[in-house]
Structure 1
Amino acid sequence: MGDPGLSKLQFAPFSSALDVGFWHELTQKKLNEYRLDEAPKDIKGYYYNGDSAGLPARLTLEFSAFDINAPTPARCCPAVGTLYNTNTLEAFKAADKKLLLEQAANEIWESIRSGAALDHPVLLNKFLLLTFADLKKYHFYYWFCSPALCLPESIPLIRGPVGLDQRFSPQQVSTNKTKRRSSSFQSVEVLCFRDRTLQGVRDVTHSIIFEVKLPEMAFSPDCPKAVGWEKNQKGGMGPRMVNLSECMDPKRLAESSVDLNLKLMCWRLVPTLDLDKVVSVKCLLLGAGTLGCNVARTLMGWGVRHITFVDNAKISYSNPVRQPLYEFEDCLAGGKPKALAAADRLQKIFPGVNARGFNMSIPMPGHPVNFSSVTLEQARRDVERLEQLVEGHDVVFLLMDTRESRWLPAVIAASKRKLVINAALGFDTFVVMRHGLKKPKQQGAGDLCPSHPVAPADLLGPSLFANIPGYKLGCYFCNDVVAPGDSTRDRTLDQQCTVSRPGLAMIAGALAVELMVSVLQHPEGGYAIASSSDDRMNEPPTSLGLVPHQVSDWE
């Protein structure tokens, strides 16, 4: 805008104003949509029309900038722009800013010469935004450009700026029916209107009108030189950086950051990975010991938000070094209940997880109720609660110390058609498996167990688990039927405890979760055909590879 004391029109640069919501939306777009795509994107901003006199016009971008059809706020002028979001800081620095500016200036010049700008004045408000988002540190580098055409000759003022109230009546101003003064071919009247109201009446105090003479170059077909890259905070030509790691809500930061590794997997390595199926799954962990702790941590790494523990033990002094959800203080005063302490620790690790713990026993065959401290009524309540918990979850992990403690949950889960993942340890051996998940129409009264029909003779032998449909897969007990008994009675300490090599639980726990995720990615879910080692050369059934029936140390 010109100054009344000057005889020539001068360029006043715009100032950018980016809302925190814009950066948050860019983060989501980068992670979920753009990924590695550096192609230019259309965005939209607006110029606020109500700043105090003397302040530069602000180009504002909000969270709605990525919606081209979003309405422009009242008393604001829309602006269309192009976003160039780079994948690396080096690419951001090396971007050809001169070329980008020239391209934008040519588009503006063409809209003027073709007359398109008369029908759509917003074409004159083009802007560029060059960005790099460091999503590990939440540092956002950006450089704004509002292209302005610079004619080689100066633009003299024929008639200096005067207020609108000196040229037009209040009625003309209020109705926007102002009669333009006739101009010659090379002179143009410019009306700078600030749309403000004072006590319900339109105020024109900050609006002016003036007349300028256009030089001959204004009618040339060649696009004039352009300027417009914004200066940084120090007044030099350079980009700006905003650090949002401290001002953003820590819980929102954690929510976005914990899934960063998963989102990055979808960019290049596993683009077909369906994260929603994993994040939304509800997991019931029966056992909060060494296996339970490692399974829980791996589940959180996969983005699972709903984890429930069931255990009746308390934390002992030997536990924290092998069970990563506990520490020394948890062992004091007799020890905290494992299930409750594990759930509490998960929420301390990540507040966004929905973790619960139930300190309860699981009735077991071979452990008569009347011979133990558990009353019959308490056992009934435990069974009812266990049924409710299985019903309210999608996947049940069997991670207990004894064989017999796994029997009742396996039966309940099979009856409710819930996916069961079982993990068991020896000293230097382990087995991880998924139980068969029967389809309703295959349910038969003559099955060996609720999840496994009698295996046909032609399936026996070395290829026992090859290409068997998920509804015909067995359970933990199908191939090892023994009479129920108390495996902890009349045994020495090393026979009562699960004595394993320290790293085995981490391996088995991780494989148990990986098996669950692979099943969830399969189109048939728990009914997926069991993959075998013979299938390795064929097209894998899921984006994560094979979906076996079981994984053990001998495979």
Structure 2
Amino acid sequence: MDVFKLDDSAKPVMGYYSTGQQARVPGKEKTISLPARLCLGTSAFSEENEPEESHARRQVGGADFKAFDKVAFFKSVVEQIWNDIVSGQAVYDPMLLNRFLLIAFADLKKFKFFYWFAFPALQSDPAWTTSEMQDIGSVWSAAQIENLRFQIDTYRQTHGPRQSGFFLVKEGPEGLSVARLQDYNEIVQSNGNVQITLGFADPSSLDNNPGWPLRNLLALVQHHWKISNIRVLCFREVPGKQDISASKILTASLSSNVSATECPKAAGWEKNAQGKLGPRLADLAPLMDPTRLADTAVDLNLKLMRWRLLPDLQLEKIQSTRCLLLGAGTLGCYVARALLGWGVRNITFLDNAKVSFSNPVRQPLFEFEDCLDGGKDKATTAAEHLKKVYPGVNSVGYSMSIPMPGHPVSPQAYESTHKDVARLEELIEQHDVIFLLMDSRESRWLPTLLGAKMKKIVINAALGFDTFVVMRHGIGQDHGRDISEVPTPLGCYFCNDIVAPTDSLSDRTLDQQCTVTRPGLSAIASASAVEMMVSLLHHPLGVRAPPARTGNDGLAEDEMLSQTGSALGLLPHQIRGFLSRFKNMLISGQAYDCCTACSDPILEAYEKEDFEFLLKHLEDVAGLTKMKEESENIDLDMDWDEDDDDDGEMV
């Protein structure tokens, strides 16, 4: 599937058939004939096993399976067989006589496989007639039969599978021996007294009916050597037992030895289980693990996207990306579902809240029962329910708080807070993408700092009543960057602030402590955040990818797309959405050297002081305090227009 994708053209395929076999009925003396079997094994599509000119074809019909022109396809293969006979190529490569067809359609969502085999057998005009089939033991002695078995084994080992299905048996004064079809003229010319028997590996197990390969073999010997009467060995053996006693002997004759000049008609379409001409069905769904079915179904939808629309889509990279969701509320639930849609297999939740009665209608990973008895932990419950949606996801949840600036740490909570910080650092280090999906501004500060410190992809989403912002953070000043490729480091969520984040929760009333938004806004923002992540994963510069140039710069859309380097199109820095106007704005902002979250002084101080740094005054460390003092001391010289109006408008 991953090689052929949606290609429905004919493909070469190698098959092997076994010789006819019979089985004894338990408790009875009689035996039954087993159907002929064709095996398409794991090497069926291997290039190493393919002949230079294909002897077999495979057609994946797709949605057009029923409408596919089977007659024309069958006729084309029949003509190939006939051309190989006329040219003599089949004499030197007799496997070409055994071309077959397989038309297949796979319903990969339901795991139903429709397939139809055809084994073209040429119909001679006039038709060959055959005598009654005799057991091999009525023609040759046991010693001769054992010698013949040894000779055929040696022949197969010497000449390989391309020759082993068809051969000549020479019977002369020196006994039985085996030769290639191409040796026929040499044998006849060297010793006219030799009895020649035409041999072939017979897939039939019936007592009075040889298998279909004999038709094409007789057409070959009649066309090239004008043979109209010949003895035929229908070679049958019991695998692994060195027993060929089931083989049969017959005589084939033609009433008129006239070579055909045009391609003869042929038959060969296989009947289905109901005995009618039609495809067979293999329904594998009941035999498969439902979890495995879900895996393949998810992957199939994404592969169809790549095959049909976007060949450069890096599904394996997306699938292996480890995502940490800080916040398991409305944004967290929608982000998780969108990540599942992209095939992400590793999703971790972090939240300290419990499921409340208002949550399930807005947060799709929770149910009413999760709210009872005070509510379950959001993070662990979201992880459990995500597995119910898709069992193949590796999802875990951690119920813990994120230390925030402006929220004092009491002596009693010092140790637990210290552990929470260490755990947060560990989780961010273990993941590739960090989503900031919390309720408050200050809760995003520490993850922003850690993301810049560890050079992680950080995607931030925040909601208003009918507005949202989705942005990807830069990684600070990023002094190790290649300036020619990334001229301006991108800013983080706090780079536009001139004050440090403080406690914004304690003074809120109860109605202000809930995020009040239009119901559809969170789904839009969450989807935009995930799509931004996927686009960023496809950019060659990764977290250092520059923002797309937009605005009134005269660029055509295709030029703007080419600038981003992402297979999925434009890659902005920030998306600011306005649901009241159904409009999005793409904004870019550079890193601020006095930022309280990603500036060099902050990162250096945290690197040096670790947890103790969290207890300090951020504005002093970042340099904002000094900047404010300098601003207040500036002597502003203002010029007033002599003709000012009375209201003193400044110009």
3-state secondary structure, aligned to 2:272: coil
Q: Report the CA distance between 1:296 and its aligned residue.
A: 0.2
Structure-2-length-normalised TM-score: 0.71
Aligned to 2:196: 182
CA contact (8 A) 2:21 2:238 kept: no
The one-letter code matched in structure 1 to 2:427 is L
Aligned to 2:236: 194
The one-letter code matched in structure 1 to 2:233 is L
Aligned to 1:500: 517
Aligned to 1:260: 300
The one-letter code matched in structure 2 to 1:101 is F
The one-letter code matched in structure 1 to 2:235 is F
Aligned-partner Cα distance in 1 for 2:313–2:306: 6
Aligned to 1:312: 352
3-state secondary structure, aligned to 2:391: coil
Tell me, yes or no, if structure 1 residue 84 matches structure 2 residue 59: yes
Tell me, yes or no, if structure 1 residue 302 matches structure 2 residue 342: yes
Q: Report the CA distance between 1:483 and its aligned residue.
A: 3.0
Q: Report the CA distance between 1:206 and its aligned residue.
A: 1.3
Tell me, yes or no, if structure 1 residue 37 matches structure 2 residue 75: no
Q: 1:149-168 to 2 correspondence within 5 Å?
A: 149-157=122-130, 160-163=133-136, 166-167=139-140
Aligned-partner Cα distance in 1 for 2:11–2:87: 24
The one-letter code matched in structure 2 to 1:481 is I
Aligned-partner Cα distance in 2 for 1:286–1:336: 17
Aligned to 1:69: 48
Tell me, yes or no, if structure 1 residue 102 matches structure 2 residue 75: yes
Select which of 528, 532, 535 maps to 1:511: 528
Aligned-partner Cα distance in 2 for 1:263–1:239: 27
Aligned-partner Cα distance in 2 for 1:524–1:289: 31
Aligned-partner Cα distance in 2 for 1:485–1:124: 84
Select which of 526, 547, 568 maps to 1:544: 568
Q: 1:266-345 to 2 correspondence within 5 Å?
A: 266-345=306-385
Aligned to 2:16: 46
Select which of 393, 407, 415 maps to 2:453: 415
Q: Report the CA distance between 1:322 and its aligned residue.
A: 0.8
Structure-1-length-normalised TM-score: 0.82
Deviation per residue, 1:86-125 (Å, 9 max, x gap)? 231xx22222222212211121122233333333332122
Deviation per residue, 1:28-51 (Å, 9 max, x gap)? x1xx34343221111122213364
Deviation per residue, 1:514-534 (Å, 9 max, x gap)? 100111111212111101433
Aligned-partner Cα distance in 1 for 2:442–2:246: 84
Larger radius of gyration: 2
CA contact (8 A) 1:165 1:204 kept: no
The one-letter code matched in structure 2 to 1:82 is R
The one-letter code matched in structure 2 to 1:487 is S
Q: Report the CA distance between 1:82 and its aligned residue.
A: 0.8
Aligned to 1:490: 507
Aligned-partner Cα distance in 2 for 1:215–1:547: 79
CA distance 1:170–1:385, change in 2 (3 Å): same
Q: Report the CA distance between 1:214 and its aligned residue.
A: 4.1
Percent sequence identity over aligned pairs: 51
Structure 2, unaligned stretches of length 5 or more? 23-31, 153-168, 172-194, 198-225, 579-584, 586-651
Aligned-partner Cα distance in 2 for 1:186–1:387: 87
Aligned to 1:244: 284
CA distance 1:164–1:351, change in 2 (3 Å): farther
Deviates further, 299-308 or 180-189: 180-189
Aligned-partner Cα distance in 1 for 2:138–2:475: 81
CA contact (8 A) 1:470 1:527 kept: no
Deviates further, 214-223 or 253-262: 214-223
Aligned to 2:420: 382
CA distance 1:296–1:221, change in 2 (3 Å): same
Select which of 40, 45, 55 maps to 2:34: 55
Aligned to 1:220: 260
Deviation per residue, 1:44-84 (Å, 9 max, x gap)? 2221336425223122334443225369xxxxxxx952111
Aligned-partner Cα distance in 2 for 1:145–1:328: 58
CA contact (8 A) 1:471 1:527 kept: no
Deviates further, 387-396 or 247-256: 247-256
CA distance 1:33–1:260, change in 2 (3 Å): same
Aligned to 2:409: 369
The one-letter code matched in structure 2 to 1:368 is P
Query: Over aligned residues, Cα RMSD in angstroms?
Result: 2.7
Deviation per residue, 1:208-235 (Å, 9 max, x gap)? 2323124546732322110011122222
Q: Report the CA distance between 1:158 and its aligned residue.
A: 5.5
The one-letter code matched in structure 1 to 2:229 is S
